[in-house]
């Protein structure tokens, strides 16, 4: 494995678990030891916008989050872990939106690029003087703005997923208009796993992207891009297919409180799992560190679990004795 170059990505809870027994003032030295171990195996850390957002949102007020201290320490860890002294910056993976817009529409919207650039700056602020960073970003409203964005985006995403499932149900009912609910569920699952659902889902994703970019496509372009998307970025479509399958198979209500508390987080799992494909990230194979059972199972279903580890396994691989 050491003959290859790797980019390691920690999810939110991986950073929280890494630092749970540390004092904030001890994290920088701890991370330096970790990076030395990684360097010996050609591994560099990469931050993702979503992990930064999730950690920062937990610093929002006015009421202190029960996860405040854990997320603050995790944020300091990520800032130092993903910092490269040579470039004097935090290495951040591009937003999935930019991957797709650039590859399929040769467009890189400035507003989305600025989100990533701003996230780099905010994370960098927590590398050294985190107390000053907290004070400055509380005053600027950074934490509360991110919390509001996450809440709005999760609600939008849940509605979008419900729409995809509703479309699948309608497709089945066209051929089988008189099915009982249990039979209907079975037929919808068959449709989701058939060769018809993924192209339609992919075309819907492409259409939404084109609309957001104010780009008109011909019918042929729409079909061609729709069929190419899962080939170029498998998890960009497979993740949504997996969610739709879970909604139908488990009869999930995405508007229930349980879904809001847990399953809405799937929206952000997409951002991380998107990196699991056959492309290199700046010449490096991506490794994902997570203990999220849903994400691990989903990546296993699509044969990407070989590049996924929990934190304990990763530290063992590094011969970590700390």
In a domain, residue 312? The reply is yes
In a domain, residue 126? The reply is yes
CA distances from 53 to 105, 135, 270, 274, 304 (A): 27, 17, 14, 17, 25
The C-alpha angle with vertex 78 and arms to 118 and 127, in degrees rounded to 5, equals 70
Paired residues of 8 in beta bridges: 45, 287
Task: Report helix, strand or coil for 6.
Answer: strand
What residues contact residue 84 under an 8 Å CB cut-off, 6+ apart?
44, 90, 91
pLDDT at site 260: 94
Q: Which domain holds residue 277?
A: 6-317
Strand runs labelled E in the chain: 6-10, 43-45, 83-84, 89-90, 285-289, 308-309
Q: Are 146 and 99 contacting, i.e. CB atoms less than 8 angstroms apart? A: no
| Number of structural domains in the chain | 1
pLDDT at site 114: 77
In a domain, residue 169? The reply is yes
pLDDT at site 290: 95
Tell me, what DSSP letter sits at residue 188? Answer: H
pLDDT at site 268: 92
| Burial grade of 28 (CB within 10 A; 0-12, 13-18, 19 or more) | middle
In a domain, residue 1? The reply is no
Can you say how many angstroms the Cα of residue 208 is from the centroid of all Cα atoms in its chain? 19
Tell me, what DSSP letter sits at residue 45? Answer: E
What is the Cα–Cα distance from 296 to 306, expressed in whole angstroms? 10
Query: How is the chain split among helix, strand and coil, in percent rounded to 5?
Result: 65, 5, 25
What is the bridge-based pairing of β-strands 285-289 and 6-10? parallel
Closest by CA position to 48, among listed 97, 107, 100: 97
Q: Is 88 left (phi over 0), alpha (psi -120 to 50) or beta?
A: left
pLDDT at site 167: 95
In a domain, residue 170? The reply is yes
What is the Cα–Cα distance from 234 to 221, expressed in whole angstroms? 19
pLDDT at site 256: 96
In a domain, residue 14? The reply is yes
In a domain, residue 287? The reply is yes
Closest by CA position to 291, among listed 73, 94, 67, 15: 15
In a domain, residue 322? The reply is no
What is the Cα–Cα distance from 59 to 121, expressed in whole angstroms? 17
Can you say how many angstroms the Cα of residue 314 is from the centroid of all Cα atoms in its chain? 19
CA distances from 254 to 158, 246, 259 (A): 6, 11, 5
pLDDT in tens, the chain (322 residues): 557 899 999 999 999 999 999 999 999 999 999 999 999 999 999 999 999 999 999 999 878 889 999 999 999 999 999 999 888 999 999 888 888 999 999 998 877 777 778 889 999 999 999 999 999 999 999 999 999 999 999 999 999 999 999 999 999 999 999 889 889 999 999 999 998 999 999 999 999 999 999 999 999 999 999 999 999 999 999 999 999 999 999 999 999 999 999 999 999 999 999 888 777 888 899 999 999 998 898 898 888 888 999 999 999 999 987 6
- What is the sign of the dihedral through the CA atoms of 90, 270, 305 and 13? positive
Closest by CA position to 288, among listed 299, 302, 279: 299
For residue 182 the two structure tokens come to 């249990």
């Amino acid at each position: 494995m050491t003959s290859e170059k790797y980019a390691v990505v920690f999810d939110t809870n991986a950073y929280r678990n890494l630092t749970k027994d540390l004092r904030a003032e001890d994290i920088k030295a701890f991370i330096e030891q970790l990076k030395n171990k990684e360097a010996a195996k050609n591994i560099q850390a990469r931050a993702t916008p979503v992990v930064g957002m999730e950690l920062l949102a937990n610093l929002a007020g006015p009421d202190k989050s029960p996860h405040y201290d854990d997320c603050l320490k995790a944020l300091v860890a990520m800032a130092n872990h993903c910092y490269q002294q040579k470039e004097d910056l935090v290495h951040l993976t591009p937003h999935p939106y930019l991957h797709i817009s650039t590859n399929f529409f040769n467009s890189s919207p400035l507003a989305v690029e600025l989100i990533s650039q701003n996230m780099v700056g905010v994370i960098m602020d927590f590398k050294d003087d985190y107390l000053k960073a907290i004070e400055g970003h509380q005053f600027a409203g950074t934490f509360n703005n991110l919390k509001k964005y996450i809440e709005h985006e999760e609600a939008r995403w849940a509605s979008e997923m419900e729409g995809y499932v509703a479309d699948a149900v309608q497709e089945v009912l066209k051929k089988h208009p008189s099915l009982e609910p249990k039979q209907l569920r079975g037929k919808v699952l068959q449709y989701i796993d058939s060769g018809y659902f993924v192209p339609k889902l992919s075309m819907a994703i492409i259409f939404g992207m084109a609309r957001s970019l104010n780009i008109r496509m011909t019918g042929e372009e729409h079909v061609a891009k729709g069929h190419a998307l899962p080939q170029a970025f498998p998890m960009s479509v497979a993740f949504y297919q997996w969610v739709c399958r879970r909604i139908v198979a488990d009869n999930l209500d995405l508007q229930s409180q349980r879904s809001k508390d847990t399953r809405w987080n799937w929206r952000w799992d997409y951002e991380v799992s998107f990196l699991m494909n056959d492309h290199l990230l700046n010449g490096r194979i991506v490794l994902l560190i997570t203990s999220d059972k849903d994400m691990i199972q989903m990546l296993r279903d699509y044969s990407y679990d070989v590049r996924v580890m929990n934190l304990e396994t990763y530290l063992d691989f590094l011969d970590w004795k700390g």
